[in-house]
Amino acid sequence: MNWRVFLAAAIALGCMAGAAGVLYRVKSNQQLGAPGLRAKPLAGTHRVEIQLPERVLDYKSKEMALSEVETNSLPADTSYARRLYEARDGFKLMLGVVMMGTDRTSIHKPEFCLTSQGWRIVERETLSIPLEEPPGYQLPVRKFTASFVGTDRAGSIVRGSGVYVFWFVADGRVTAGHLDRIKQMTWDLLRTGVLPRWAYVSCFATCQPGAEQETYERMKKFLAAAVPKFQTAFPMPRGEHRIAANSSDRLNGRSTQRGTGAVE
């Protein structure tokens, strides 16, 4: 064997061994961070009870269970919540949360949520929603506009549109970007040994083709009122420093720590 090839192979093996050692040490010393949402710990598990509000503005709501297919595909320490909200005029939207535990595979690419159900994403945007509390800030979000073509029971073609808004939040972290979440999670874990407890928050509403912008405006108004009721982390204004909060307070939704907002 050529000595250069042998040397390259030895270096590659050394790098792999070193990386494996680093990953092993990180995992063995890994701590799970606190949620960025209001949640109550479930004794004896890494799961929490996520507290989505029952009433928002003039919307009433009911809790929606995940399907067996969904729960079977999620790691055992995944926490989740889902509520269907309905306004007085019949407008409906679904608000959902999937929160990881120690298994990072609890959260997947948001595109899968729509495409796996037959929706086609026709537009992607990074936007922000103004929230008045606590205190006023801009919530970074991603918005997917999607379309659906199917048939009804009579065999007639049915067309529909949907607006899907989502973001990611952990204690001291808020971002609209899936890749940015992964980058922040990796950096925090390597730097501090703490695995941020990221949650994927989503809101979905269907509408008739052509009514997408009107639907999004209603969703913005709903989220501006709903988010302060269940989210404790929010972007930090320029010039301010992060404030460390007691872990037990953070877990019970009393965090004083501010996060850094970022987007892809």
* Whether residue 20 has pLDDT greater than 70: no
* Whether residue 174 has pLDDT greater than 50: yes
Angle, in degrees to the nearest 10, between helices 3-28 and 178-192: 80
Note the pLDDT of residue 258: 39
Q: How far is CA 185 from CA 100, 110, 203, 247, in A?
A: 12, 17, 23, 18
14, 110: one domain: no
112, 21: one domain: no
CA angle 36, 62, 111 (to 5 degrees): 55
Phi-psi region of 118 (alpha: psi -120 to 50; beta: other; left: phi over 0): left
Note the pLDDT of residue 219: 98
Task: State the DSSP H helix or E strand holding residue 235, giving kind and residue range, or none if neither.
Answer: none
Q: For the residues 87-92, what does the mean pLDDT come to?
A: 96
Q: How many domains does the chain have?
A: 2
18, 53: one domain: no
28, 74: one domain: no
47, 129: one domain: yes
* 74 token code pair: 């999620």
Note the pLDDT of residue 134: 64
Domain housing 1: 1-32
* Whether residue 106 has pLDDT greater than 50: yes
114, 194: one domain: yes
* Whether residue 189 has pLDDT greater than 60: yes
4, 87: one domain: no
pTM of the model: 0.78
Amino acid at 113: C
Confidence band for 242, pLDDT divided at 50, 70 and 90: very low
14, 133: one domain: no
* Whether residue 141 has pLDDT greater than 60: yes
6, 66: one domain: no
Confidence band for 51, pLDDT divided at 50, 70 and 90: very high
112, 40: one domain: yes
180, 80: one domain: yes
Most confident of 42-46, 99-103, 242-246: 99-103
* 186 token code pair: 């990796």
Please give the Cα distance from 204 to 27 (Å, whole number).
Answer: 35
Please give the Cα distance from 15 to 82 (Å, whole number).
Answer: 44
Mean pLDDT (the chain, rounded): 80
Note the pLDDT of residue 69: 78
Note the pLDDT of residue 30: 66
Q: Give the SS3 label for residue 188.
A: helix
10, 136: one domain: no
